[in-house]
Chains A and B, each alone.
Chain A
Amino acid sequence: MINLQEISEALVIGNAKKVKTLVDQALKERVDPKEILNKALIPGMMVVGDKFKNGEYFIPEVLVAARAMNAGMDLIKPLLTQTRTAYAGKVGIGTVRGDIHDIGKNLVAIMLEGAGFQIIDLGANVTPEKFVQTAKDESVDIVAMSALLTTTMVAMRDVIHALKEAGLREKVKVMIGGAPVTQRYADEIGADGYAPDAASAVEKAKQLIGRN
């Protein structure tokens, strides 16, 4: 009988091979994929988030752990029921137009996914139109935007404006982050939330959709 705790532990130390083998074994033993997600992968990623927050882990360790999580996710994703109840919420995330820096955005996406959110990753250099289209087509709960450059963070305002124009602003929560972004800027452009780092982004996202 597979020990879900063991999967968590392998994830925390970034052992992708072991996570893959154990998840595969768990599935063969007919463990519910939702249980693997909720009792192994998510708790593992939460430990990683805590270690990152308290300075025990740094970005390389988080990326290696995320790689291990993805090794497990790749196996269970196709099996997870596509119903909303399986996820904490749906997030459309991207780095804004003109900005190609995606490491921060990737970290937030990883941590959100690790916290049970369904992620639609739009990549970098994402136009306001693309954000709006995704919000509409995918019925996301949250639109999350990242920018590393002062010159590009202004595009966040354009996205919020475009969401309003499309009549979607009241239907989604908007959260923003990135090196030059501040709470003050979030307030100024009318974003619902700002997070200074990837771990706080998870708390913020949960708070925004009322799961905290």
Chain B
Amino acid sequence: MSLKLPEDRTLVIPLLGAPGIQLSNTTLRENLTDWEVQFNTIRLLIDQFQPDGIFPFMDLTVEAEALGLEINFPEFENPSVKNHCLKTEVDLKALRSRYKGLSGRMPVFIKVVENIAKNFHVIKGAYAIGPFTLAGELMGVSELCLNVILNSELVHSFVEFSTYVIKDYVKALLDAGAETVAILEPSAVMLSPAQFEEFSGRYFSFLAEDLKAPLILHICGNSTHLLKKMSNIGAFGLSLDNQVNLREASKIIPNSVVLIGNLDPVGIFLQSTPEEVAKATRDLSSDMKGIKNFILSSGCDLPVGTPLENIEAFMKTGKRGQI
């Protein structure tokens, strides 16, 4: 499976989702639990902004919840895992024997992707959590990081099982019509390059090879120190957050890998005026001029409450900027 980008223009694909609740007059929780509500919000976002591609809502608890972990689910905020209660090989073994494949709210997101694929001629994306990050949800991030040094075998067991779960989910998303899946691996930003390679990168490579699908790796925050390692794990694309200098990154990343990013979702999209957004978009576009395989996007998921006129300013400026 492959995904070809047009050579004559830069695609503009912000990581929309949450800001769409203003258009559909719904709550975040409704969108994350009901595929029809979410699909309707996505439809309104596509109609309003005409992006070149679309991803569903971002939700980092779907996989952990499907594994039976309890989550907090406020009406207007992102859900979060309540207790990271799996600590040992024994806990993991029990979890492994309970695992029955797709469950929880995974079908909500699969259904959303299926309907986007059926109804729209844009690039269809989907999200899944990354293996190291899911292991952190199971064990607790601090404990996982400690064990990276103190008990690496245990970390490998957790990450390996996470990879297995993620593979099933990603396969279902691809079967539903996703053309690319972004693997969300925020917790990897805490690792050294060598630790990243050992505990995250090689599991990403396994997913990409095994699924033979164009996968994107997304790491939140400043992942500059990991760029070299990220560049050779078989990713179709790298979605980088706003702290990374994209122009500099393009010197490290081979041009066969698509660079995606990276306007500041908070400082620019959420907190600035449309004029400031337009300027930042122009600056980024001109900075990236001449770089092939670049998708103009936000550095990360756009937060709830992002002014719609700011998204409008980004889309208009981004599309106008191309020849």
Contact = CB atoms under 8 A, between A and B. Distances in A.
Interface stretch (A36-44, A57-65, A76-84, A128-136): A57-65
Contact of B142 (A61, A103, A150): A103
A150 B266 contact: yes
* Interface residue tally on B, bucketed by range: 20 to 34
Interface residues of A, number: 23
Interface string B178-196: 0000000000001110010
Contacts, number: 59
A67 interface: yes
Contacts of B267: 182, 184
A59 B191 contact: yes
A179 B221 contact: yes
B159 to A, nearest CB: 14
A103 B142 CA distance: 7
Main secondary structure of the interface of A (DSSP, over half): helix
A149 interface: yes
A160 B85 CA distance: 34
A137 B146 CA distance: 34
A103 B141 contact: yes
Contacts of A149: 77-78
Interface in B260-301: 265-267, 270-271
Contacts of B72: 100
B259 interface: no
A14 interface: yes
A185 B271 CA distance: 10
B149 A14 contact: yes
Nearest to A14: B149
A167 interface: no
A150 B303 contact: yes
Interface in B141-162: 141-142, 145-146, 148-150
Interface string A172-185: 00000001101011
5 contacts: A58-B190, A100-B80, A150-B270, A151-B304, A179-B220
3 nearest A-B residue pairs (beta carbon)? A59-B190, A58-B192, A150-B303
